[in-house]
Amino acid sequence: MADDPLDNKFTEDVKNASKELGKYKSELLGVADAVKEAAAAAKTNSSELRDQLNTTTKVRDILDDTVALYGRLGSSYISTESLSKKILATESEKSSVLGNIDSIYEKIGKTAAFQGLTNEEILAATKSINDFNSDGLDINQRALLLAMDNVNYLDKAITSQNKLNGLLDEGNDQYAETYLRGAAIKKVLSSIANIPIIGPFLQFDLIGEKFQKSIKDGYNEIFKQSKILFDSPLIKLLLSGVIISKLIDISKKYIDLLFEIDKGVTKISNDLGMSKEAGEALYDTFASTSADTIFGSRGLVDGLDKAFYSIRNMSSASAELGESLGTNAMFTDKTVQGQILMTKQMKMTSEEAAGIQSLSLLTSKSADKTLQSIIKQNNASLSYRKIIREVANISAELSMRYGNDPEQIAKAVVQANKLGMTLEETRKISNSLLNFEQSIEGELESELLLGRQFNFEKARELALMGKSAEASSLLLKQIGGITELEKMNVIQRERVAAAIGLSVDELSKAAIKEQVLTNLGAENEAALTERVRILRENNDLAGMAALQQEAAKVKGGDILLQDIAKASMAEKYEETMNKLKDILGVLLSHSTALKLVFMGIALVATAIATSMMAAALASVLASGGFTAILGGAAIGATALSGIGAAVAPFAIPAMVGDSMTEPGGKTISMPKGTLLPDKNDYVYTSTNPLPTGGNGDNSAMLSKMDELIYHAASGKMIKYDTITAGTAHGMSYNSYA
C-alpha cells in the first residue's frame, strides 16, 4: 500500500507521547535498580521480592515495546492488533501485581505490630516508617512499597498505550482517507482518458496512478506531461491564436468603454442642458471623486460601500434623480451617494428612492439619515424593507397629515402594521370617523347589537388631527382582537366593520394579521433562545455574545442602516471591477500618452503572438503539413477521422528506442529543437550510437564489420557481452559479399 505522510499536528502528538514514555521508562529503571539493591541487602530468596523484580523488568519491556511502536508510526498504515494485545497483557500484569499486594498485606497483617489494621492503615504506617527510617522496614514492607510503585507505573504504561492506540486509529483513519481520495481521483482521471476529444491530451491513467500514490506525485506528473505537451508546434500555434483573439477582444472592449463613456457624457449634457465640454468636465469630477475613495480619504454616506461609488453609478443616479424629480438641477455628492445606496446597493426601485429623496429634501436631511430615522421606529418583528417601502410610497395627503416628517410617518406605519393594516388602510377608518352622522349611527347600532358600550369620541379627535393610525388603534382595541370577532355572528361582524368604515373581510384580515404578528414575536424569542443554547453547547461564546447583542439592538431600536444595507462579496467584486474600468476609460479618453502606451503594448503583444504563430506554422508545414503530423490521417475523410486529426497533434509524443526513418526530408521534432534532414537521408535513432565521421563517412562502421568478419572467419568463439553465443565455423569473407 502506498505511503502518505500524516499531518503536522498528528506527528507532533506522536513525538510528545514518545517523550512521555521515555520519561516513564527512565523512572522505571530507577525502580528496577532499587529492587535489585533491596534483594542484595536482604540476602534472601524471598519469593515476593523475586516476583517484584520480575514484574519491574516486564514493565520496562512493555515501555520499550511501546517506544519501538512509536518509531514505526507516521509513514504507513499500522495494525493496532499487536498493541491491543500488549494493553491486555499490561492489564493482566497489573492484576497479578495487585494479587501479590493482597498476599503481602495478609502477611504484614499477621505481625504483632499491624494486627487489626486495614490495608490502608498498613500502607500509611509503612510509608511513615519508610520516611522516618527506611532501615526499619522488614522484607514484606519493602516488597509492599515496591509493588505499589509497580502498580503506579503499570497504570502510566496502560494510559500511554491507550493514548498510542488512539493516535494509531487517528493516523490510520487519515491514511485511509488519503488513500480513498487518491483512488477517487484515479477513477475520475481514468474516465477522462476514455473521452475521445479530451483523453489524448494527457496520459490520464498514469496521472491517476501517481495521485493514488501521493498528491504531490500526481501534480508532478501533470506538470511533467504538460511541459511535453506545450512543446508541440500545434499547441504553440493554438496559443498564439488565442492570444491574438484575446487582444482583439480587449481592443473591442476598450472601444466599447469609450463609447459608453461618450454615451454617459452625452446623456448628462442633454439632461442638464449643457455643452458637451461641460458634460465632460462633470464626468471628470465623477472620476476624481470615485478615485478618491480608492486612493484618498473621501467620506461616504452611512451604509454605502465604496465599491458602488463608481462613475457609471454616479451618472446613472444623477439621471434617475433628474427624471424622477422632474428637474434639470445638479445634485450634491451626498444626494447622489444616497441614490446609489438605495437603487444600486439596496436594490430599491427608482420610484421608492424618489419618495425617500422627496422627504429628505423637505426635511433638509440626507437620504441615509432619513432611512436611519425610518428603521429606528421599528420596535416590532416587522420587515425593515417593508416599512421603508411603505414610507417611500405614502400618498401626498397622508404625508401632509404627518407634517412630511419621515420619522412620524414611519412611526405611524409601524403602528398600523401592528394592527394588521397598512397606513393607507387606516386612512379609510379615519375618514369614516370624520363623517360624524354616519359614524355616530354606526357606533350606536354596534352597541345595541353587541350589548357593549363604545366610545369613538377620542378616535374622532385623533382622526381630525390627521392621526389615522392612532385613531384606528383606539377603535380596534375597543372592538377586540381575533378572539372577540370569532365570538360574533355574521351580522354583528358586518355591522361593526361598517361602523368603522371597513368591509367585514378587511376587518377580519386585519385581526388575523395582528394575531400572526403577535405570535411571530413569541417565535422570534423562542428561536433566539434555541440558537443561544446551541452556541453555548458548542462553547462558541463569541458567537453567543454577538447574537445576543444583535437581538438587543433590534429590540431597542438601535439597528443601523449599514446592518440592513450590506452587499455580498460577489456584488462588491463586480462593482469594483466596473469602477476600475470606468476610471481607466476616462483616463484613456483624456490622455494621449496613455493611449499611446496602451496601443504600444497591444502592438508589441500582437507582434510577439504573430511571430510565434508564424514559427509554429512553419514548423508544422516543414513536418509535412498537418496530415503528416496526424500520422497520415486524411483531414475531412470522415467525421471520426476528422476528430482524430484534431486531437492527434495535442497528444504526448511517443518515446521511441532504436528506430529508422525512411528518406523524405520530414522535420523531426526534439526537446531541444527540430531536425531537417536531406530528402535522401535515412535517419537512425539509437541509445548506443556508433561513432561516424559525418558527411556520409561510414568508415568506423565498416571497421566494426571487418572485425566481426575476422572473428567469424577464424573459427573463434562468438560472445555477446560476456555470454557465449556460439562458435564460428570458418566462413570466408566472400560469404558476406
Q: Is there a contact between 433 and 456 (Cβ–Cβ < 8 Å)?
A: yes
How far is 636 from 651, CA to CA, in rounded Å? 19
Q: Select the highest-mean-pLDDT range: 118-132, 593-607, 689-703.
A: 118-132
pLDDT at 642 over 60: no
φ, ψ at 674 (rounded to 5°): -120, 155
Residue-by-residue DSSP string for 574-617: HHHHHHHHHHHHHHHHH-HHHHHHHHHHHHHHHHHHHHHHHHHH
In terms of pLDDT, which residue wins out, 345 or 255?
Answer: 345
Q: pLDDT grade, residue 24 (50/70/90)?
A: low
Would 87 be classed as within a structural domain? yes
Q: Which residues of 292-301 are buried (b: 16+ CB within 10 A; e: fewer)?
A: ebeeeeeebb
Would 263 be classed as within a structural domain? no
φ, ψ at 215 (rounded to 5°): -60, -40
In terms of pLDDT, which residue wins out, 321 or 191?
Answer: 321
Would 180 be classed as within a structural domain? yes
Cell of 129: 516508617
Would 286 be classed as within a structural domain? no
pLDDT of residue 273: 84
Q: Select the highest-mean-pLDDT range: 110-124, 312-326, 618-632.
A: 312-326
pLDDT at 81 over 60: yes
Angle 481-487-492 (CA atoms, 0-180°, nearest 5)? 90
pLDDT digits (tens, 9 = 90+) for 545-604: 887 777 777 766 677 788 888 888 889 889 988 888 888 888 777 766 666 777 777 777
pLDDT of residue 338: 93
Q: How many structural domains is the chain composed of?
A: 2
DSSP state, 716?
-
Q: pLDDT grade, residue 410 (50/70/90)?
A: very high
Angle 626-230-244 (CA atoms, 0-180°, nearest 5)? 75
Angle 75-77-80 (CA atoms, 0-180°, nearest 5)? 120
Range of lowest pLDDT (250-264, 503-517, 586-600): 586-600
Residue-by-residue DSSP string for 79-127: -SHHHHHHHHHHHHHHHHHHHHHHHHHHHHHTSGGGTT--HHHHHHHHH
Range of lowest pLDDT (128-142, 175-189, 479-493): 175-189
pLDDT of residue 195: 64
Q: Is there a contact between 499 and 508 (Cβ–Cβ < 8 Å)?
A: no
Burial of 97 (0-12, 13-18, 19+ CB in 10 A): buried
Would 78 be classed as within a structural domain? yes
Query: Sign of the CA dihedral 265, 268, 274, 280?
Result: negative
Nearest CA among 504, 512, 539, 544 for reference residue 528 = 544
202: left (phi over 0), alpha (psi -120 to 50) or beta: beta
Nearest CA among 575, 590, 594 for reference residue 284 = 590
Last residue of a domain, one of 187, 212, 247: 187
pLDDT at 58 over 60: no
How far is 550 from 552, CA to CA, in rounded Å? 5
Torsion, CA 220, CA 221, CA 224, CA 228, rounded to 10: -160
Q: Is there a contact between 109 and 122 (Cβ–Cβ < 8 Å)?
A: yes
Last residue of a domain, one of 122, 157, 187: 187
498: left (phi over 0), alpha (psi -120 to 50) or beta: alpha
Cell of 457: 369620541
Would 377 be classed as within a structural domain? no
Q: Is the pTM for the entire model greater than 0.75?
A: no
How far is 94 from 82, CA to CA, in rounded Å? 18
Would 571 be classed as within a structural domain? no
Structural domain that includes position 714: 699-736
Would 423 be classed as within a structural domain? no
pLDDT digits (tens, 9 = 90+) for 11-20: 565 566 666 6
Last residue of a domain, one of 187, 211, 245: 187
Map grid coordinates 493611449 to a residue: 595
Mean confidence (pLDDT) of the chain: 74
